[in-house]
Chain A
Amino acid sequence: MPPAGIWIDGLIQSCAYMTMAFGMVLVFSILGILNWTHGQFYMLGAFVVYYAITAVGIPFPLGLLAAGVLVAGLSILVKKIIIDHITGDLYVGVATMGLIFFFEGAASMIFGMQDKGLARVLPGVVDLGSFSVSYQKIAVVSFTLVIMIILFIMLNFTRIGLAIRATAQQPDAASLYGVSVERLSLTVMGIGCGLAAMAGGIIAPLYTINPFIGGIPMIMSLLAIVIGGLGSLTGAIVGGLILGFLNSVVAYHLSYLSEVVLFMLVVIILLVRPQGLFGASVK
């Protein structure tokens, strides 16, 4: 049985993957595209929080909010200027792949390539006897819980949530009922990418910040939604949880072989349930 620290570590990773995967699925459900730039919005979120704190001097929670809002705005611009002008899912996918290099290159030029850090944000640990948990990790879990509750309320008890669910299931029918699919897709793009940015922002104090940090979280989020079921919001959460814990526990037992095991697991799930654990529909 792994020690408590490994489980806590798994939970932290799960939180990041869940938040990112949720945003990715949201975009996929409405726009029908896999946004390969999701990881770069995660990276930009981390940078916004970094500069909000170190250059502007605003508190961490406000920095997180700023990351979400600014990156949401940027993603809406990306949709309006690029995605809307490209026809075909394949070509949109290729375009968003191209944007990976654009954003990484632009971030390298603007922010520089040297690692940055926010170790001074929420320093300190809670000592729990045989192990300790940092305030930063507690903040990640708390933030994810709050975000998940907000998203649950939004999707289930608001008009926009109803519109998102309706459009995800039957876009034509939703349109006939007065839902502006165009406006909704912009909103969803903003929310989805804003979530990625906030995931990057909340994780920023734990790890290093540089223009290339988006790649691995993007791959892990993709794995999470494949495990959970492409298009399933519940699946994204469950997939993120499974992946985070597995990554930590398997790495503890098998060291660097953890990645092999993770990918094997994805293959097995796809062989047994090609639609993922929660199918392809929005729950």
Chain B
Amino acid sequence: MKKWIIIWAALFITVLTFGLASAQNEPIIIKVGMPTVLSGPAAPWGQVGMDPYHAWIDLFNKEGFKVGGKTYNFKLITVDDKNTPEGGAAAAKQLIYSDGCKFLAGHWTWNFPSVATVANQAKVILLTRTGNEAVPGGVYDPKKFPYVVFANDSMGQYIADHLAIVEAYPKYKKIGILDCVIGKGPAADITVAALNKAGIRFVQEWFPFGTQDLTPYITRFKEAGCDIVYIAGWVGETMAFAKQRWEMGFKDMKVGHSGPFVSVDMYLAVSGKDAAQGLIGQYWTSWEFKKTKVNPKYIKMCKEVQEIVSKKQGKPFNYTGWVGWLPNHLLILSQAMQKAGTVDDTDAIMKVIRGGTFDTTIGKWTMSGAKTYGSPIVFGCPAALSVIKGDKEVYLSEHPTKPLP
């Protein structure tokens, strides 16, 4: 009997020891919430990133990241923010209070103020982008929103895009800058000041929301002597502009927009194959960057994601806009946690983010320690551009924003 008790006890201790050991090796999950637009007119922009984001996180989690000897994995939870202030607040509340997310990342839509308010009240770090609503004179206030990280310098990128255009077309006459009136505000003023400072020749026009007929604006640009027109992120309007300027006979007028091409086929179908040639868009294909050095490990991961998503969707997946967003945010976050030695102390994590240097999917950049666009923590960007050539997009030029000290 005694013999059996000893055997049972030995077995019990063995199982318990292995069980505890394996439990200790089991990665701890950190929930990251992403309020993004999954319905309404802007939904294609939110939906196109879903597959690559999840595939990238799966790859990232194979290794995970270590803090204090423990291994951590990210789990992404997305909620539709409907691209509205109410939707943004509701999504942020659900992610933080119902889903238990400790961090919000990958956010890029227009509802920054409402998402940031909810996140800051809950002391949750929000990794988002700079934008019209976040610059000086806008709603962003470092004291009011101490847990906001501008992990995408979209303002800086938009300005740098123009410099990249000039580098690609040094003999340009004048750039026409076109935006919707809802983009009017401090960000536009900063852009104008920056372009003036850089000595770029340009004229600016605004169109009312919902405009599909851009003939009056094309005519005005033509009369102003513009040979390049760069449109602020309005995809449908850009496609219509390209088509309409072609039909008006202004075939030499180059057209582009901030934001990557979601699908080249879409531009060919809407603008027409001839009119779409030479269309300029932002480029996040990091393995083709010429001026920005990207860690080969991340390039390999991103290429693998492209293959995984292509296989899943049953057709070539060429969109690379996702490379610069959520993976970039999560790498900043994980590296900041490692440097801070904590995954819970948001103040300690924020402290290392300010002025910290991070190696990400779009290069190695230093967060600004000084105030830039009202934020003490703005990340750099490659500001690479591509053009449509045939039925593909190819590298055009690049003007990386300087790492901000």
A residues near B (Cβ < 8 Å) are 2-3, 5-6, 9, 12-13, 108, 112-120, 123, 125, 127, 131-134, 136-137, 206-208, 210-213, 215-216, 247-249, 251-252, 255-256, 258-259
Q: Is the CB of A12 within 8 A of B271?
A: no
A-B contact pairs, 10 of them (CB 8 A): A9-B215, A9-B216, A108-B39, A114-B266, A115-B239, A127-B249, A132-B247, A207-B213, A251-B217, A256-B208
Which residues of chain B from 205 to 219 have a CB within 8 Å of any chain A CB? 205-208, 210-213, 215-217, 219
Q: Which of A118, A133, A251, A252 contacts B269 (CB 8 A)?
A: A118
Alpha-carbon distance between A13 and B239 when the two chains are bound, in angstroms = 18
19 further interface pairs, Cβ-Cβ under 8 Å (given A120-B273, A207-B213): A5-B219, A12-B213, A113-B47, A114-B266, A117-B272, A118-B269, A120-B269, A120-B272, A131-B249, A132-B249, A208-B239, A208-B270, A210-B41, A216-B212, A255-B206, A255-B207, A258-B208, A258-B216, A259-B208
CB of B271 within 8 A of CB of A117, answer yes
Q: In the complex, what residues of A have CB within 8 A of residue B269's CB?
A: 116-120
How would residues 228 to 245 of chain B score, 1 for a CB under 8 Å from any chain A CB and 0 otherwise? 000000011001100100
Bound Cα distance from A215 to B240, whole angstroms: 17
- Sorted nearest first, the 7 A-B pairs with minimum C-beta distance are A117-B270, A119-B272, A251-B216, A9-B215, A252-B216, A117-B269, A134-B247
Which residues of chain A are within 8 angstroms of B44 by Cβ–Cβ distance? Answer: 112-115
**Contact pick for A256, options B207, B266, B272, B273, CB 8 Å:** B207
- Write the nearest CB–CB distance from B216 to chain A, whole angstroms: 4
What total count of A-B pairs have CB within 8 Å?
Answer: 111
| Contacts known (A119-B275, A255-B205, A259-B208); A6 close to B215, Cβ less than 8 A | yes
| Interface SS, A side | mixed
With A6-B215, A132-B247, A251-B216 known to touch, is A116 a contact of B266 (CB < 8 Å)?
yes
Cross-chain contact A115 with B235 (CB below 8 angstroms): yes
- B76-135 with Cβ < 8 A to chain A: none
Q: Is B68 an interface residue (CB 8 A)?
A: no
**Is B263 part of the binding interface, using a Cβ–Cβ cutoff of 8 Å?**
yes
Q: Is the CB of B249 within 8 A of A6?
A: no
> In whole angstroms, what is the CA distance A206 to B213 when docked?
9
- Residues in A with CB closer than 8 Å to B41 are 113, 210-212
Which A residues touch B212, using CB under 8 A? Answer: 206-208, 213, 216
Note all chain B residues with C-beta closer than 8 A to A255: 205-207, 216-217, 220
Q: Please report the C-alpha to C-alpha distance between residue A131 and residue B262 in the assembled complex, in whole angstroms.
A: 32
| B314 contacts partner chain A, Cβ-Cβ < 8 Å | no
Residues of chain A within 8 A of B235, CB atoms compared: 115
Q: Is the interface of B mostly helix, strand, loop or mixed?
A: helix
Q: How far is the CB of B182 from chain A (nearest CB, A)?
A: 10
| Of B211, B266, B270, most A-chain CB atoms within 10 Å | B270
A-side contacts of B263, CB under 8 Å: 114
CA A134 to CA B272, docked complex, whole Å: 12
- Residues on B with beta carbons closer than 8 Å to the beta carbon of A211: 41
* Bound: A113/B219 CA distance, A: 30
How far apart are B254's CB and chain A's nearest CB, in angstroms? 18
Q: Is the CB of B248 within 8 A of A117?
A: no
Q: In the bound complex, how far is the Cα of B210 from the Cα of A211, in angstroms?
A: 13
**Distance between Cα atoms of A119 and B39 in the complex (Å):** 26
The reply to whether A117 and B247 contact each other, CB–CB distance below 8 Å, is no
Q: Is B199 an interface residue (CB 8 A)?
A: no
Cα distance A12–B243 when bound, in Å? 15
Alpha-carbon separation in the docked complex, A133 to B246 (Å) = 10
Q: How far is the CA of A13 from the CA of B248 in the complex (A)?
A: 16
Q: What chain A residues lie within 8 Å of B210 (beta carbons)? A: 215-216
Interface membership of B43, Cβ < 8 A: yes
A119-B249 CB under 8 A given contacts A9-B216, A251-B217: no
Asked if B175 is at the interface of the complex by the 8 Å CB criterion, the answer is no
Measured in the bound complex, the distance between the Cα atoms of B246 and A137 in whole Å is: 13
Which residues of the other chain, A, contact B236 by a CB distance below 8 angstroms? 115, 207-208, 210
